Amino acid sequence: MIIELDLQSEIPIYTQLVNRIIEGIASGRLLPGEPLPSVRNLASDIGINLHTVNKAYTLLKQDGYIQVHRQRGVVVHPDGMPPVTPEFAEKQQSTLRPIVAEAICRGMKLDDLLLLVSTLYHEIKQPDEVN
């Protein structure tokens, strides 16, 4: 999987990295048990600080997306993703709330917002069929 980051973006690089890896898992481009590059290799390949990659991997590990093995290195969690919990749903709601509020402030209609979310969902879930 090719990871593209916008080094000029206001979104922190580690956040972009976390988001790209989660998107890779969601789309099926990264499969359960699949190895990821080591912190040092990924930092070198992308041209970013290894502490940035380490922070991203730490967050991904805390959220159950990856496992770190002493022998096998970093892998996508082999047991798949944890189920939707009330805590996860609450986190999603708090993340989406300001996005929805901004859409309302700018005059976006509910149908347009739902269409946008639906389009993104299908682009990520079925990436080969959209392109």
Q: pLDDT by residue (tens digit) across 38-96?
A: 999 999 999 999 999 999 999 999 999 999 988 889 999 998 888 899 999 999 999 99
Query: Rounded to 10 degrees, what is the CA torsion of 16, 13, 49, 68?
Result: -30
Is the predicted pLDDT of residue 131 greater than 70, yes or no? Answer: no
* Residues facing 62 on adjacent strands: none
Tell me phi and psi for residue 48, to 5 degrees. Answer: -125, 170
Q: What is the rounded average pLDDT of the residues 107-117?
A: 97
Q: Is the whole-model pTM more than 0.75?
A: yes
Residue 8, C-beta contacts closer than 8 angstroms, at least 6 positions apart: none
Q: What is the rounded average pLDDT of the residues 22-48?
A: 94
Is the predicted pLDDT of residue 130 greater than 50, yes or no? Answer: no
- Report how far residue 65's alpha carbon sits from residue 121's, in angstroms, rounded to the nearest whole number: 19
- Report how far residue 119's alpha carbon sits from residue 55's, in angstroms, rounded to the nearest whole number: 30
Alpha helices (H) along the chain: 13-27, 39-46, 50-62, 86-105, 110-125, 127-130
Structural domains in the chain, CATH included, are 13-76 (1.10.10.10), 86-130 (no CATH)
Query: What does the block give as tokens for 105?
Result: 């402030």
